[in-house]
Structure 1
Amino acid sequence: MSRTVAEKRQAFRALHEEGCFVLPNPWDVGSAHYLASVGFKALATTSSGFAWSTGRPDNGVPREVILAHLRDMVRATDLPVNADFENGFGEGPAEVAQSVRMAVDTGVAGLSIEDSTGDAQSPLLPVDIAVERLAAARRAIDEAGGDTLLVGRAENFVVGVPDLEDAIARLRAYAQAGADCLYAPGISTREQIEAVVAAVRPKPVNLLIGGPSAFTLDELAKLGVRRVSVGGALARAAWGGLVTSVQALADGRFNALPKEPTGGWLNGMFRDAG
């Protein structure tokens, strides 16, 4: 039996109350169907994975295309979907609020707002401006009923400013501005993770594991992490298989074409999903 948007949002919030869960990142409807079939409890979109599927770089997809993608992903599964909503698609607080209202209308159970600028010379927004934008997102969500989870992101470690003290200060400010969950993509050591969790407790923390890691989910749970996402890693895995096969074809070889999964298996999975 399919769940309503309100039920998905309620279930998503409950996941953030205790324990630690994996929040994998599909990049299209097909990958969302597959991840849902494996038994995950929620999904999150990936701006990079989706952008690559449209032939664009990360952060290069227009807002209207992202919103259509979010609607497709919400319809694709009975699981809650968290939106990677990039920088909120707006220069100032009013524009961010407008974009957030549109995102909420797609039915997503949560959405994240980044504080990066896209400018290599000045990659992070000033904290006061980032806070104003996040507070505007909070107000937009509250005006829509308040049940959509808001994630505040400090992008220090992915934009070349790996300053843990500054990232923590930003996360604390975002928590005060109304973020329900905090996220500093790029932190990777036990000490960094523990510091972030302690700084924003009792609010939940999302951790990005974007590549091979020695951590297990149980270990991350003991460190206090509430949810673990993988960003564009699964999309990169799919691209990795494609690149390997295509390079062989370009060399005149066919030995790199995959045996698995078979077309029959894929057809069966999507037949059951549909």
Structure 2
Amino acid sequence: MSKVDTFRALHHHRAPEDPLVLPGPWDAASARVFAEAGFPALATPSAGVTASLGYEDGRVPADEMFAAVTRIVRAVDLPVSADVEGGYGLAPKELVERLLETGAVGCNLEDSEDGVLKDPRAHADRLAEVRAAAGDRLFVNARVDTFSCGVADPERTIERAALYVAAGADCVYPIEAPPEVLPLLRAGIQGPINVGALTDEGPSPAELGARGATRITFGPGLQRRAARALREIAAGLRRR
């Protein structure tokens, strides 16, 4: 079985209390840590990778992001999905080619830009083009940014998700969805649902799974938590 087939299979036939937990490596070293811990697959966070490269979130050049993903993929023998934000303005065919060159088996694509939601039908058309170019070679996780853009009505999220699934998305990611609305989203959305979790508070992955999450990611939370730990170590060294 190929890595992409393995990755796709990990999203199906899961018990509610056993969602797929995907840590987010920001470089090769962190990827190896997560692999050694026994996770079956990884999903890079764009903000975490961007921070590791010294850029503000959303400001990393495409070439540097793809190079970083390549290093992460090369460091581990696991399926790795890549968060490529909005696709860096690349045409769908070029975006797919660049992703496949990194060795990634999947991608996140977001449906907002600078805090403004994109037209959902136009974005669905773009997702359909990505799917047509990728065939079965990539697992497409369509981010739905309604909650992060201040649209609190879950029905708007469900409507967008339906368009994206119809366009060929393998999974949808209603980022910043409150845990209490997950059962409603689960009832209204076909297919796997990605839910973001905090690393040190809030519902556990198992609790989020019981509410409807298929898979759990952490955005830049793990990179930021590691940075906090490093600051504490650095401060201790200064005091010695």
Rounded to whole Å, the distance in 2 between the matches of 1:136 and 1:47 is 22
Partner of 1:110: 106
**Counterpart for residue 88 of structure 1:** 87
- Matches for 1:209-248 after TM superposition, within 5 Å: 209-246=197-234
Q: Which residue type is aligned with residue 39 of structure 2? A: F
Q: What is the identity, as a one-letter code, of the residue corresponding to 2:92?
A: V
Please point out which of 122, 133, 137 is paired with 1:129. 122
Given candidates 199, 217, 220, the residue that maps to 2:188 is 199
Structure 2 Cα separation of the partners of residues 17 and 100 of structure 1? 24
Match of 2:67 in 1: 68
Structure 1 CA distance for aligned equivalents of residues 166 and 108 of structure 2: 15
- Say which structure, 1 or 2, has more relative contact order (CA 8 Å, 6+ apart): 2
1:90 is paired with a residue of what secondary structure? coil
> Structure 1 181/54 Cα, relative in aligned 2: closer, same or farther at 3 Å?
same
- Asked whether 1:159 is paired with 2:153, we answer no
Alpha-carbon separation, structure 1, partners of 2:93 and 2:184:
31
Instruction: Tell me, yes or no, if the aligned pair for 2:82 and 2:106 is still in contact at 8 Å.
Output: yes
**Structure 1, residues 43-86: CA drift from partner, whole Å, max 9, x if none?**
01111111111110111111111111121111111110011111
Which TM-score applies when normalising by structure 2? Answer: 0.91
Distance in 2 (alpha carbons) for counterparts of 1:104 and 1:199? 32
- C-alpha contact 2:22 2:41 (8 A) present in aligned 1: yes
Displacement of 1:240 in angstroms is: 1.0
Distance 1:241 1:68 in 2: 26
Q: CA 1:59–1:248 in structure 2 vs 1: closer, same or farther (change >3 Å)?
A: same
Q: List structure 1 segments (4+ residues) > 6 angstroms apart after TM superposition.
A: none
> In the alignment, what sits opposite 1:253?
239
Determine the structure 2 residue equivalent to 1:59: 58
Distance (whole Å) between structure 1 residues aligned to residue 177 and residue 200 of structure 2: 14
Q: Deviations over 1:131-167 (max 9, x none)?
A: 122111111111xxx1311111111222343342222
Conservation of the 8 A alpha-carbon contact between 2:179 and 2:211: no
- State which drifts further: 65-74 or 35-44: 65-74
1:214-257 Cα distance to aligned partner (Å, 9 max, x none)? 423333333332110111011000111233345566xx624xxx
**Cα RMSD between the aligned structures?**
1.9
C-alpha spacing 1:164/1:52, structure 2 compared with 1 (3 Å): same
TM-score (norm 1): 0.80
Structure 1: runs of 5+ lacking an equivalent: 1-5, 255-274
Which whole-Å CA distance do the structure 2 matches of 1:41 and 1:248 have between them? 35
The structure with the largest alpha-carbon Rg is: 1
C-alpha separation in 1, matches of 2:203 and 2:66: 34
Q: Structure 2, unaligned stretches of length 5 or more?
A: none
Query: Hey, what's the Cα distance between the residues in 2 that align with 1:155 and 1:116?
Result: 6
Amino acid in the other structure paired with 1:184: P
